Amino acid sequence: MPLDIVEVVRDMDRLARATWDRVMIGDIAGLKFREDSITDELLFALMRKHPQLAVRRLNQSEEKTAGADWEWWIGSWSLGWFRLKIQAKRVHGKKYRELDHRGDIDAGHEFQYQTLIAGCQGESTYPFHVFFNGWAQDRFRESFVSDHIHRCGPLDQELWGCAVMSSYSVVDLHLGSRGTEWTERSFVPRYMPASLPWSRLFTLACTNAVADNLKAYRAHYATMSSEQILDDLRMAAILLDGAGRGEISGVDGSGALNWARQTLTSTPLVTRLPGYAHKTLAAHRYFLETGDFAEGNPNFLIGPEDALTGRLPDVLLLLDLDLDLDEIDRPR
């Protein structure tokens, strides 16, 4: 059974709703869930449901020089890969206060998001922020309206439990806000209108969790080859990235799509994965062969010999579009 992108989108929306409730109720109860614990739970849940997603925890001491909480390598061994580098921030009160987190000072980066972007200058690599949200209805007076509501219709606010936006937009709103009081630069309502549910990283077709839309969306992908699906997914990332850079005014319309297609053809895929991604594959194979994780399994640990040079994230996911689970013997 190959990867079902529609089910990935559906599950990401489900997890976003659960995150909204977890953050909101946790805050009320005084349980301040950390970003890394939320991240671990989300990615583990996705991998358990979709084994084509391989996950491996890497050395947390590398986060300072990576600027990323996780990477998502999407593609296949036959076609090539593109990479999403993602930094996660959770809401605290009315602010994303960790946006003030310092970056790699040795590299001249004042803020962490500058470190993230600096590591995304290679081929087919795109930086994004994912915000973990959740609050009671009376926390804000502002009404949050996403910039895509005119083409999607109203979406449930809980889908912004995991909200994504280009890291270039974060720079513009946080660092480039001349004349804005510093205390307001991390104010949540500044960021929400420019963000989307995180599942939109995986779809050009903007769809709510409505059965008819999902059926049409599944039919759309059913006729496509792995190469076409890879192009479709990469165009979604290119559109969000381009809007964040200011190269296009929005992600909607034929003009934006034509720009994304041109950018797609001029941006080569990554053909060789770094060494730590191959270690992810080893962990992935262990999961497929055993059908489950074993706590403390050495395939999931990183040793001193793995202190690789370069910018490593805390978590790496490998999404293999060609992997067909029906072709793998798994234990009953």
Instruction: Give 219's contacts (C-beta < 8 A, 6+ positions apart).
Output: none
pTM: 0.84
Question: Is 47 or 103 the better-scoring residue by pLDDT?
Answer: 47
Rounded CA gap, 76 and 323, in Å?
8
Question: Is 134 or 249 the better-scoring residue by pLDDT?
Answer: 134
Q: Backbone dihedral region of 58: left (phi > 0), alpha (psi from -120 to 50 degrees) or beta?
A: beta
Q: Is the pLDDT confidence value at 2 over 70?
A: no
Query: pLDDT tens-digit profile of 258-298?
Result: 898 899 988 899 888 887 787 777 766 665 665 544 343 33
Rounded CA gap, 242 and 2, in Å?
30
Query: pLDDT tens-digit profile of 81-140?
Result: 999 999 999 999 999 988 887 767 666 677 888 888 988 887 789 999 999 999 988 787
Chain-wide mean pLDDT for the chain? 77
Strands (E), 68-209: 70-76, 80-90, 125-132, 162-166, 196-197
Question: Is 281 or 183 the better-scoring residue by pLDDT?
Answer: 281
Rounded CA gap, 116 and 23, in Å?
25
Which of 2-11, 36-45, 94-103, 177-186 holds the top average pLDDT? 36-45
Contact 128, 167 (CB under 8 A): yes
Contact 283, 54 (CB under 8 A): yes
